[in-house]
Amino acid sequence: MSTERANKCIACSVTNCTHHCCDSDFCSLDRIQVGTHETDPTVDQCTDCQSFKMK
């Protein structure tokens, strides 16, 4: 899915996501939502792509 258009502004290596461009490490969406599951985020692991959808 979603191999039609790599958005070169959004690099991503999450190949399990339906929005990932299969042949390159980019997202195919025009924009994504990034958020956090923490109340006080301190490291990158605290952040999430909330546009993720499992394949």
- Which residues, 6+ apart, have CB-to-CB distance to 25 below 8 Å? 11, 12, 13
**With contact defined as beta carbons under 8 Å apart, do 18 and 2 qualify?**
yes
- Residue 5: what are its φ and ψ, rounded to 5°? -150, 110
Residue closer to ligand SF4 by CB (options 14, 46) is: 14
| 48 is a contact residue toward ligand SF4 (CB under 6 A) | no
Tell me: does residue 6 bind ligand SF4 (CB under 6 A): no
Is residue 32 involved in binding ligand SF4 (CB under 6 A)? yes
- Contact residues: ligand SF4, CB under 6 A: 10, 12, 14, 17, 19-20, 27, 29, 32, 49, 51-52
